[in-house]
A = this chain, B = another copy of it.
Amino acid sequence: MTEIAGEQKGQRRHARRNHELLVAAAQEVFSERGIEASLEEIARRAGVGIGTLYRHFATREALVEAIFESRIGEIVAVTEAAAAEPDPWLAFVGLLEHTVELQAGDRVLKDVLMRYPPVAGRLASARDQMRQTFEQVIERAHTDGGLREDFTFADLAVLHWSFTPLIDATAEVAPNAWRRHLHVFLDGLRVQAATPQTEPPLTDEQLHAAMQALRRQRLGHAR
């Protein structure tokens, strides 16, 4: 709602404003109706025509990306805060808890994160930063925190995915149910508990492909 100093030249001020109105409306409507809400309703809510929405965001994904972009700061902040914990194991646990908390506490953020494994170019730096944080925490927990050795970054991603249905199912009834699930998983992640794995972790390529498959699947499957 606040005015922004025109960073863009030309007559784009009004367009910028519409862009923001649309992201705000999308955030609102997605939060009420879920990520599959009607784009026409978003346009309506933003007070612009459907054509305008489509010029600003060619696809629903682009809109999701914009929301992601508008909120990436929060996510990065949470991960860095967790990483600041001095005890390696507690840092690891805290990182998981806080990131899942983020997912569990905000429907839009959950859907956005689920659907937007940021592969894009512009947001690559934020993504890389997050990945680095994650990997540092894992590394520390490996060498000095009692985390089982075979746990990798890819496992972390997979773990995050696994909470989605649980969160969806219990959001209204037992909003902390995911903590129980996480607790058991964490018990399995300690070196003392580890038994030899046969299935290897996902490679980076596999992880990437899996993310794309997820994104394809969650809505918009066959276009």
Give the interface of A toward B (CB within 8 A). 33-34, 36, 114, 148, 151, 155, 158-159, 161-166, 168-174, 176-177, 179-181, 183-190, 192-195, 197-202, 206, 209-211, 213-214, 217, 221-222
- Whether the Cβ atoms of B33 and A173 lie closer than 8 Å is no
With A34-B221, A194-B187 known as contacts, the answer to whether A165 contacts B199 (CB < 8 A) is: no
Complex CA distance for A36 and B36, rounded to whole angstroms: 13
**What's the nearest-Cβ distance from chain B to residue A178, in Å?**
8
- Whether the Cβ atoms of A173 and B221 lie closer than 8 Å is no
Question: Which of B155, B174, B192 is within 8 Å of A206, CB to CB?
Answer: B174
Question: Which of B166, B194, B222 is within 8 Å of A158, CB to CB?
Answer: B166
Complex CA distance for A181 and B183, rounded to whole angstroms: 14
- Whether the Cβ atoms of B173 and A209 lie closer than 8 Å is yes
Copies of this chain = 2
Residue picked from A155, A163, A187, A213, most chain B C-beta under 10 Å: A187
- Whether the Cβ atoms of A213 and B172 lie closer than 8 Å is yes
- Whether the Cβ atoms of A185 and B185 lie closer than 8 Å is yes
Q: Known pairs A169-B211, A183-B199, A184-B197. 4 more at Cβ < 8 A?
A: A34-B221, A168-B213, A171-B213, A187-B194
Set of chain B residues within 8 Å of A171, measured between Cβ atoms: 213
Complex CA distance for A151 and B188, rounded to whole angstroms: 14
27 contacts between A and B (CB under 8 A): A34-B217, A114-B165, A148-B184, A151-B184, A158-B180, A161-B165, A161-B169, A162-B163, A162-B181, A164-B164, A165-B165, A169-B211, A169-B213, A169-B214, A169-B217, A170-B210, A172-B213, A173-B213, A174-B210, A177-B202, A180-B197, A180-B200, A180-B201, A183-B198, A185-B185, A188-B188, A193-B193
